Amino acid sequence: MSRQLDNDNPTIFAPTAPATSARRKTGKALLWDDRADEFLDYDEEDREGMGEADVGRGEREEIDAEEVFDLLRSITDPEHPVSLEQLRVVNPDDIFVSGNRVLVYLTPTIPHCSMSTLIGLSLRVRLMRALPPRFRVDIRIKEGTHQSEHAVNKQLNDKERVQAALENQHLLQVVEGCLATAGKRGREPAA
Amino acid sequence: MAFSGALTITDLDDFLTPSQACIIPVRNGKAQSDMTDGSTEIHIDSDNNYYEVSTYSTAVAGPSNPKAALEKKALERAEINLNDCLACSGCITSTESLLITLQSHLEVLTYINSISSPSIDEATPPETRRPFLSISPQTLASLSAYHSALTSRPPLPLGLLLRRIRHFLSAKERGSWTVGDTTFARHLSLRESVQEFEERRAYAKGKWVDRTGGQGGYTPGPFPVLASACPGWVCYAEKAQGDLLPLMSSVRSSQGVAGALVKQYWGEKAGLKPNEIYHVTAMPCYDKKLEASRSDFYSEAHTTRDVDCVLTTGELDLLLQDLGFNPYAPTPLDHFSPSSSASATAPWPDLLTPAGTSSGSYLHTLLAHISASHPRPSALHTRKLRDSADNEEYILYDPDTNEVLFKGAKVYGFRNLQNLVRRVGKETGLGRGKGAGKLGAAVAARRKKARAGAESSASTPGTGATTPASGTGADGVEVGAELERLKRWEEKKMDYVEVMACPSGCVNGGGQMKPVTPAAAAGMEVDEEGYPRPMPDPGTDTAKPKLGKEGGEDGEEGWRWSTKEWVQRVEELYWVGEGGLLTPPGSPGLTGGVEKAREGEAEVKADELAERICRDVEDTLGPQGRWEFLRTRFRKVEGDVLGGEGGVTLEAVTW
Amino acid sequence: MPQLQLIASPQSHAEPAWAVAFNPKRNLLASCSTDKTVRLYSYSLPSSSKPVHQHAFPSASSDKPVIHHVKTIETEHKRTIRSLAWAPSGKTLATGSFDSTVAIWEELDGDGDEGEEEGQEGVYKPKAPTKVSGDVDMDDDDGDEGQGERDVKEWECVTTLEGHESECKTVGWSADGALLASCSRDKSVWVWEVQPDSDFECIAVLMEHSQDVKNLSWHPHEEILASASYDSHIHMQWDDPDGDWCIFQKLHPKLPLSQINIPRSDAAASPSQGQISAYNSLVTALLPTPEEREAETYLNVPPLLEDETVWSLAWSPCGRFLASGGDLGGIRIWARTGNNPDSPFVEIAHTAAHSRSCFTLAWAQGGTLLAAGGLGILASAGADGKIIVWQITTPVSADGAEADAPSKKPKVSIAPIAAIREAHGVADVNCVSWLQREDGGGQGVLASCADDGSVKVWRVVADAE
């Protein structure tokens, strides 16, 4: 039983044009300064944005699915030097936002992809860091795309396990590796 | 293989299975080019089904260099062997047992096939190694109990069973095996344990002389001596309790000594080089496979191991069944006199069973030794801690002076082992200070002082034991003397601990036969060919096995054994010696004047032979050679496997 | 209609706070966090805090207890401190950490040679600033703080219990303090016996859960230990007189969810302004907002199809009932069907409670009188940010005896009596804990802590302010 890359020849798709959310079009103030991504550690940058965003619940910034996609699209796949967008692991159509809730479906490249929990963790960490804390995030494997869909779903949504995972230095290192490119937000191919 | 999937990475759960923690495949990828040491000897052979568990291609983590990874992967096939496994702390204790399907009965069958029908394939060299099988007495007891329960016949005494296996495997078409049991090797191990104990005593008094002249780099360790015969315990200690390793007995286990005996001593007598012998052992537990893979048991000069393949009891049974062995079929060796002399067929004396425990009698051998070397009569006090036979304390004292001569314990099972570790850590100061807080030494001392006052009249702190109640308002000389005695018992530090990872010890090893199920019994055709040889079965009804606790009224349903009863049964059979005579477990005989355990004819002869072998080895190889023949070393496995490696592997990060 | 009144928000932890617990003997509250510290708070009850009768809640306008942060223990745990538990003696504190260890803490003896500690940071200062949010009026000059712990000394780790292979999730002391249990992601539950001289002896390692063990809870007066797991089971364990510690029953939830049963009669019977306002706030807190409804409908999040994790456990004060909180947010009640230590438990209720995981439960005396079938008040909280207080009652017959014999399947009613949404702002509430004193003082005082590191203290008051 040989341990190959889980998917050694994934289909890679061209990235879409950088997202232009409705809000950008209207010229409304951005939650985050895009340029900051290039200079700042995303963590810091996102925390700053978060603070502003949550001032005064009455006039909180609305966030749409495209923006959430924007946060996730450039995360690097743990196995391949390409973005989750290029692998179609995350798709704009599979992200839903309503009120304080976000739902993300992720589509593993192959049905037995063992990296699904890791990818899911990266998504969760990214959103945990980047979204204002009022958001409750649910992550689901897109139905029928993984042989252990339900088990993965359960693990990805157990916050205690997520917390413990983030205290595992080895794991965190890999997650940070995947997230290092997240700030590009689709502006250029990750590689 | 039932476990063959264990190493794949596709599992989702993040629990501590080897699949999750094992990072060896990737790490080894780098070192593949210069594999010169013994650790690469056990290959994962791609066309051998028992090896298939662990072939990996190297997955390069991270996005840095994808192309290189894709090109290299076909070439670099990393491998896991048991030695890697031992050197890694990625997972703890018995998880390795999952890996260990690679030494299986199929390997032995392959060997037998290749020797009986030599391959025409020129690529594979013909099999020329001489086969040798060493069977542990616990294995024999388990097989005897199993086949008795399966066929509803009286159990075979171990000596008879051993001779039947010996006869069966000695057939030419099966490879002309030499078959022995490991009790003579254990005899050597026990003798060496006594010697080591004396060395440590001498060292503690500053009177130790290094006979190897410093070559060995060995100094006797501190007390208490912790027995190292149990590989599960050794594995746990090396990975989780590294600070306690100096306490571990450096004496080879019975399997370790058997390896040296067969490959070095017996081989030389038979005119064979170590690598011309195929040495298989049959052991009660999986962890013995790990033990056999230790680097100390590998010979660089002959590129061979002391034990080439370890079978569990269950695997030996599979092998024998595959070959068509019927334990109830009589053989010409049946009536062979149970002589202890090394006969034409027995390489050394069979079934030396010293009184004590079925896990090797390590503790009792020392008790007997200390008692015998004390000039006055001694008395033995034993007490079960928490009413458990798996946690017993033995105090040997001089009833006249109340001097405590020796304090030992028998500690079996994971739970008791935890408490042992805490207790020994406390007594010795080893392995402390890695806690969540730091208690200043001064503070600790003050607390202790404060408590000492409060407890001076309370009975026996630290044990919930069966110590006779010592009234607090004690007055009178008798009670005072008793209190004084108890105080001395308490204060005496531990000298020796017989540690075993399994509850009930080796008879309950993980590789032993499982209790017979109704289905197994029904599926087995009762072979009438072997005529019944009724053997007295000590103390129990020979006709039918006892009913399991949960057994129903219905006959068939009632055929189940509870685990407890099953282990008890194997324990009983362990003590059935030659001709069905019961060898007493022995501890009662030790109370009040310990006699040297079973000073029978067989033992005397075995002692003579052991003496001769040790002398021969020392004459040939010198003191250092003798040390290597009978001793071994333990190494701490560092906590963080990835520390210093730099790279992080995907295998390490499943959560 | 009672209400939850915020009485203090002491200084927050720097990172998520996971557990809070009131000391059973001293006026102390402890909290622990991912920041690897334990914080100790002193509280003092107003002198008028003794209830009119044993189970009555105080009036909203009565004097409030005062809470101060007095001490921060910088532990050497290497990862999140997930749980803590006070021994019944109140002298010993156990902490369980993701670093797999359990640490045992005791306060240094007051031998006088710690004189240098006095006056240092963390020692009680009457004017210690407390950060109080919103409308809570906090007055440090309250004359009733005489019961506060003025003299909190250094706490030292006296021993560390190792053995778990991975994150320790919960620690708990048995009712008499003789045993300590811990559970872990390694699927095991360990039972330790307390020995003299701060020593502990492991007396059982139970390894029958198939997934990580999230929570455990000791019976309030017997040596029965319940453990809850990711594997969706609750195991009931005891020290079998014929053998070792073992599991005598494995519980697996089966009952379908029933709707929250919001009592109506109460407000209708005494329609004062306060009652109506309290009732409205209860309903508002329990029912989803239009925005939440919309999100629910729009997202239509697929349910997790694996059986739900059991996150939390709490015994009724009488010991006949066990509550469990699940990943889907419901609360289940299990009843013991006999009087033997190992009498089996049956599931008798499953009520909707939280819209996300129910991380924590706490059950204490209070509310409806025992004679009227009162089984105490149950607090629950979880990932939806709500804290809900439930009145648990069992039907009584005319002569005051419980209607059901213990051997039959008892009935209980679970009615929410107070609730608050966004108890800690937008953060998940990780733990709630009732103040329970032998003198009955401070009944209905509840502590909670949350993912944002905040710790809050509430009390159930009889009416709206």
What are C449's two structure tokens? 């802590």
Q: Is B604 on the interface with A (CB under 8 A)?
A: no
Q: How many residues does chain A have?
A: 191
Report DSSP letters for B440-493, one per residue.
Answer: -HHHHHHHHHHHHHHHTTSS-TT--B-PPP--TT--SHHHHHHHHHHHHHHHSP
Poorest-confidence range of A91-95, B239-243, C107-111? C107-111
Task: Label the pairing between strands B277-283 and B130-135.
Answer: parallel
Residue B438 DSSP label: -
Do residues B168 and B325 lie in contact, with contact meaning Cβ atoms separated by under 8 Å?
yes
Of residues B81 and B504, the one with the higher pLDDT is: B504
Residues 6+ apart with CB under 8 A from C108: B443, C114, C153, C154, C155, C156
Mean pLDDT of chain C: 86
- Dihedral of the alpha carbons of B509, B514, B515, B519, in degrees to the nearest 10: 180
pLDDT digits (tens, 9 = 90+) for B104-126: 788 899 899 888 776 666 666 67
Q: Is A187 on the interface with C (CB under 8 A)?
A: no
Whether B348 shows a pLDDT value over 70: the answer reads: yes
Do the chains contact at B446 and C159, CB–CB below 8 Å? Answer: no
Residues 6+ apart with CB under 8 A from B519: none
Whether C134 shows a pLDDT value over 80: the answer reads: no
User: Of A131, A163, A170, A172, which to mutate for an interface test with C (greatest number of C Cβ within 10 Å)?
Assistant: A163
Residue C433's identity, in one-letter code, is S
What are B620's two structure tokens? 């040939």
Give the pLDDT score at B334: 79
Give the pLDDT score at B89: 43
Whether B12 shows a pLDDT value over 60: the answer reads: no
Give the pLDDT score at C52: 55
Question: Across residues C428-436, what is the average pLDDT?
Answer: 96
Report DSSP letters for chain A, one per residue.
Answer: --B--TTSS----PPPPPP--HHHHTTPPPSS-TTHHHHS-HHHHHHHHHHHHTS-GGGPPP--HHHHHHHHTTPBPSSSSSBTTTTTSS-GGGEEEETTEEEEEE--SSTT-TTHHHHHHHHHHHHHHHS-TT-EEEEEEPTTS-TTHHHHHHHHT-HHHHHHHHT-HHHHHHHHHHHTTGGGTTSS---
Chains interfacing with B (3 or more CB pairs < 8 Å)? A, C
C-beta neighbour count of B480 within 10 angstroms: 11
CA dist C358 and C370 (Å) reads: 27
Where in B67-187 does DSSP place strands (E)? 77-78, 130-135, 178-181
Nearest to B30 by CA among B655, B645, B653, B650: B645
pLDDT digits (tens, 9 = 90+) for C178-204: 999 999 998 999 999 998 888 899 999
- Domains and their CATH numbers in chain A: 30-184 (3.30.300.130)
Name the residue facing C157 among B15, B16, B435 (closest C-beta).
Answer: B435
Scan residues 72-111 of B and list those with Cβ closer than 8 Å to A.
73, 77
Give the pLDDT score at B79: 43
Do residues A137 and A124 lie in contact, with contact meaning Cβ atoms separated by under 8 Å?
yes
Residue with tokens 């208490």: B224
What residues of chain C lie within 8 A of the CB of B419, using their CB? Answer: 201-202
Nearest chain B CA: its distance from C153 CA (Å) = 14
Q: Is A27 on the interface with C (CB under 8 A)?
A: no
Residue with tokens 């204790």: B93
Nearest chain A CA: its distance from B24 CA (Å) = 12
- Domain encompassing residue C30: 3-461
User: Of A50, A93, A98, which to mutate for an interface test with C (greatest number of C Cβ within 10 Å)?
Assistant: A98
Name the residue facing A3 among B12, B57, B653 (closest C-beta).
Answer: B57
Nearest chain C CA: its distance from B461 CA (Å) = 6
Q: Is B458 on the interface with C (CB under 8 A)?
A: yes
Residue C346 DSSP label: E
Nearest chain C CA: its distance from A103 CA (Å) = 7
Model confidence at C258, pLDDT cuts 50, 70, 90, reads: very high
Poorest-confidence range of B45-59, B125-139, B190-204? B45-59
pTM metric for this prediction: 0.76
pLDDT above 90 as % of chain A: 43
Q: Write the CA distances from C94 to B69, B444, C97, C173, C189, integer angstroms.
A: 49, 18, 10, 8, 15
Question: Across residues B279-303, what is the average pLDDT?
Answer: 88
The helix or strand, by DSSP H or E, that contains position C40, with its residue range, turns out to be: strand C37-44
pLDDT digits (tens, 9 = 90+) for C400-424: 455 555 556 788 999 999 999 999 9
What residues of chain B lie within 8 A of the CB of A78, using their CB? Answer: 61, 650
Nearest chain B CA: its distance from A56 CA (Å) = 37
Model confidence at B166, pLDDT cuts 50, 70, 90, reads: very high
Do the chains contact at B16 and C186, CB–CB below 8 Å? Answer: yes
Residues 6+ apart with CB under 8 A from C412: C321, C333, C335, C348, C349, C375, C392, C393, C394
User: Of B236, B423, B447, B563, which to mutate for an interface test with C (greatest number of C Cβ within 10 Å)?
Assistant: B447
pLDDT digits (tens, 9 = 90+) for C143-158: 344 456 667 788 999 9
Do residues C320 and C392 lie in contact, with contact meaning Cβ atoms separated by under 8 Å?
no
Give the pLDDT score at B303: 85
Give the pLDDT score at A5: 61
Q: Is B448 on the interface with C (CB under 8 A)?
A: yes
Exposure string for C113-144, b = 16+ CB within 10 A, e = fewer? eeeeeeeeebbbeeebebebeeeeebeeeeeb
Instruction: Determine the residue of chain B that is closest to C80 in CA distance.
Output: B436
User: Of A136, A155, A162, A169, which to mutate for an interface test with C (greatest number of C Cβ within 10 Å)?
Assistant: A136
Exposure string for C150-159, b = 16+ CB within 10 A, e = fewer? bebeebbbbb
Do the chains contact at B59 and A79, CB–CB below 8 Å? Answer: yes
Give how many domains chain C has, as a whole number.
1
Do the chains contact at A164 and C302, CB–CB below 8 Å? Answer: no
Give the pLDDT score at C105: 96
Give the pLDDT score at B518: 61
Give the pLDDT score at B532: 32
Mean pLDDT of chain B: 71
CA dist B92 and B86 (Å) reads: 10
* B452-461, B604-613, C394-403, range with greatest mean pLDDT: B604-613
3 state DSSP class of C25: coil
Give the pLDDT score at B490: 86
Question: Across residues B373-393, what is the average pLDDT?
Answer: 90
* B29-43, B412-426, C207-221, range with greatest mean pLDDT: C207-221
**Residue C434 pairs with which residues in a beta bridge?**
C446
Question: CA triplet C77, C79, C80: central angle to 5 degrees?
Answer: 100
Give the pLDDT score at A7: 67
Of residues B106 and A10, the one with the higher pLDDT is: B106
B298 burial level (CB within 10 Å; 0-12, 13-18, 19+) = buried
Chains interfacing with A (3 or more CB pairs < 8 Å)? B, C
Scan residues 631-650 of B and list those with Cβ closer than 8 Å to A.
642, 648, 650
C-beta neighbour count of B499 within 10 angstroms: 32
Give the pLDDT score at C81: 97
Name the residue facing C157 among B13, B438, B461 (closest C-beta).
Answer: B438
pLDDT digits (tens, 9 = 90+) for C218-250: 999 999 999 999 999 999 999 988 778 999 999
Nearest to A139 by CA among A106, A172, A186: A106
Question: Across residues B287-307, what is the average pLDDT?
Answer: 86
CA dist C105 and B443 (Å) reads: 13
Residue spans of the domains in chain B: they are 1-103+638-655
pLDDT digits (tens, 9 = 90+) for B37-87: 332 223 333 333 222 222 233 333 333 443 333 333 332 333 445 555 444
Of residues C242 and B403, the one with the higher pLDDT is: B403
What residues of chain C lie within 8 A of the CB of A167, using their CB? Answer: 34, 79-80, 98
Give the pLDDT score at B429: 78
Question: Across residues C362-376, what is the average pLDDT?
Answer: 91
Nearest chain B CA: its distance from A117 CA (Å) = 7
pLDDT digits (tens, 9 = 90+) for C272-313: 776 777 788 888 899 999 999 999 999 999 888 889 999 999
Q: Is B439 on the interface with C (CB under 8 A)?
A: yes
Of residues A100 and A59, the one with the higher pLDDT is: A100
Q: Is A158 on the interface with C (CB under 8 A)?
A: yes
Poorest-confidence range of A112-126, A139-153, B78-92, B156-170? B78-92
User: Of A1, A2, A3, A87, which to mutate for an interface test with B (greatest number of B Cβ within 10 Å)?
Assistant: A3
What residues of chain C lie within 8 A of the CB of A154, using their CB? Answer: 230, 304, 306, 309
Model confidence at C263, pLDDT cuts 50, 70, 90, reads: confident
Give the pLDDT score at A114: 74
- Terminal-residue alpha carbon distance, chain B: 26
Poorest-confidence range of A64-68, A137-141, B600-604, C104-108? B600-604
Whether B457 shows a pLDDT value over 80: the answer reads: no
Do the chains contact at B15 and C109, CB–CB below 8 Å? Answer: no
Whether B591 shows a pLDDT value over 50: the answer reads: no
pLDDT above 70 as % of chain B: 61
Backbone angles phi, psi at C427, to 5 degrees: -80, 155
Model confidence at C358, pLDDT cuts 50, 70, 90, reads: very high
Of residues C398 and B595, the one with the higher pLDDT is: C398
Question: Across residues A54-64, what is the average pLDDT?
Answer: 60
Cis peptide before B515 (omega within 30 of 0): no
Whether C63 shows a pLDDT value over 80: the answer reads: yes
Chains interfacing with C (3 or more CB pairs < 8 Å)? A, B
Give the pLDDT score at B237: 87
